[in-house]
């Protein structure tokens, strides 16, 4: 397995362009199954998860072309239910369930398992699809879903940790071709859901309340092809903001949507980071010492769980005590032990991480456990003295496009080492 070798202590300086959103593009790619016409997607990031989704679409009979950051999909005919081995390897592939039901009234999708950051049940997905008239049977590791017809209904999607993003996406993609009106209450409001809605509308869907907790979908007989540009990745933008602040750098981010991560910008400013905005461009500098800041992860528009680990790495450098509370996933502190190997002083008390910041960090070999934990370890390695080796960076390749190249453009001393 490949690893990153980082020689820390160099401030990041320069310009970086933010790629398209991983969390937005996967459901949008799935939504191309709703029509037999050609769909063109732009600003598609070159990620291993995207490559997996391309292969899943092809296994379903779609014709897919990928050139640069443009992907075209034509699913004129859908065959079978896709490659089980492919689908089971990527949790996000559950989002093909809704469009297959919408288009064919039938789907068999492998049941996604849990992961190191905690279980992510799909009961709300199945609840919503059942309300539309779907019969669900779980057998042999598959979700078998069938419907003679889909009929609009009122569906409440609130869960223990807030609305479900992929659940909202699945219900939307089934409902756009259902008979009648579907009202989704407690729908997820994330920008990635909004982007999916806008793509569906471009395909001819009728959706109102976009961006609010109540989505109203009026079913239509069919959808057509569309041309769509994916939103920039807000999590990648936040990761580079934290990296620049951690190294006391001066970095300008291009192609961002700052309104999508206002909660993170607010906490960075509270921590003493200077951020200047000009349209879609952000310049981040750190004029003085970092200050401690407390955060609690929440559904959008609160502080995102996907930035918790990166912000913790930054707070490990801030003199004083910061309390980071994780309210979305029960096991999302896997990065703590590895940050401590680099010298961070962090104690876990239930859902809280008590960070006693300000201790100097020094390089060490560390092991990435998941996508965002990997990013946190890279940030810490960039700020630490000496050499840090981050193992299992295949996690990073799932969600960050050419991360080491972008960091090198900013002056980081980082190299990819091939694994055995």
What residues are labeled active site? 115
**Residue burial 52-86, b: 16+ Cβ < 10 Å; e: rest:** bbbbbbbbbebebeeeebebbbbbeebeebbbeeb
**Dist CA 174 CA 177 (whole Å):** 6
Neighbouring CB atoms inside 10 A of 221's CB total 7
Tell me the DSSP string of 314-350.
Answer: HHTTSSEEEEEE--S-TTTTTHHHHHHHTT--EEEET
Task: Give the contacts of 315 (CB within 8 A, at least 6 positions apart).
Answer: 271, 290, 292, 293, 322, 324, 355, 357
Residue 260 CA, distance from chain mean position: 13
| CA distances for 52 relative to 41, 92, 420, angstroms | 16, 10, 23
Q: Which two tokens stand for residue 354?
A: 């008590």
Q: Which residues pair with 391 in a beta bridge?
A: 3, 367
Q: Are 217 and 207 in contact (CB under 8 A)?
A: yes
Residue written as token pair 């500098």: 285
DSSP-assigned letter for residue 180: S
Q: Which two tokens stand for residue 127?
A: 């609840």
Q: Are 25 and 168 in contact (CB under 8 A)?
A: no
């Amino acid at each position: 397995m490949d690893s990153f070798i980082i020689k820390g202590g160099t401030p990041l300086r320069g310009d970086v362009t933010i790629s398209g959103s991983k969390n937005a593009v996967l459901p949008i790619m799935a939504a191309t199954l709703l029509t037999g016409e050609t769909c063109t997607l732009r600003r598609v990031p070159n990620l291993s998860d995207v490559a997996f989704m391309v292969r899943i679409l092809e296994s379903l009979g779609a014709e897919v072309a990928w050139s640069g950051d443009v992907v075209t999909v034509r699913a004129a005919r859908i065959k079978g239910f896709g490659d089980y081995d492919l689908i089971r390897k990527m949790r996000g592939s559950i989002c093909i369930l809704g469009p297959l039901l919408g288009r064919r009234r039938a789907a068999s999708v492998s049941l996604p398992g849990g992961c190191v950051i905690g279980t992510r049940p799909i009961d709300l997905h199945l609840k919503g699809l059942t309300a539309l008239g779907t019969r669900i049977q779980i057998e042999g590791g598959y979700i078998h879903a069938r419907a003679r017809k889909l009929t609009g209904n009122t569906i409440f999607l609130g869960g223990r940790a807030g609305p479900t993003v992929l659940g909202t996406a699945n219900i939307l993609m089934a409902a756009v071709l259902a008979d009648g009106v579907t009202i989704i209450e407690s729908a997820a409001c994330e920008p990635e859901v909004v982007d999916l809605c806008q793509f569906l509308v471009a395909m001819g869907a009728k959706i109102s309340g976009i961006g609010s907790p109540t989505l109203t979908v009026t079913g239509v007989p069919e959808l057509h092809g569309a041309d769509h540009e994916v939103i920039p990745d807000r999590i990648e933008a936040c990761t580079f903001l934290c990296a620049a602040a951690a190294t006391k750098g001066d970095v300008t981010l291009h192609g961002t949507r700052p309104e999508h991560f206002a909660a993170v910008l607010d906490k960075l400013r509270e921590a003493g980071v200077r951020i200047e905005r000009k349209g879609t461009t952000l310049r981040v500098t750190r004029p003085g010492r970092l200050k401690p800041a407390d955060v609690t992860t929440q559904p959008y528009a609160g502080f995102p769980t996907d930035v918790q680990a990166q912000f913790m790495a930054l707070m490990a450098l801030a003199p004083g005590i910061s309390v980071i509370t994780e309210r979305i996933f029960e096991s999302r502190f896997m990065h703590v032990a590895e940050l401590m190997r680099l010298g961070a002083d962090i104690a876990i008390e239930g859902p809280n991480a008590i960070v006693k910041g300000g201790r100097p960090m020094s390089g060490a070999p560390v092991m990435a456990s998941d996508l965002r934990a990997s990013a946190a370890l890279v940030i810490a390695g960039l700020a630490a003295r000496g050499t840090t080796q981050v193992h299992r960076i295949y996690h990073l390749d799932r969600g960050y496009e050419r991360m080491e190249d972008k960091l090198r453009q900013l002056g980081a001393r980082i190299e990819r080492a091939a694994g055995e």
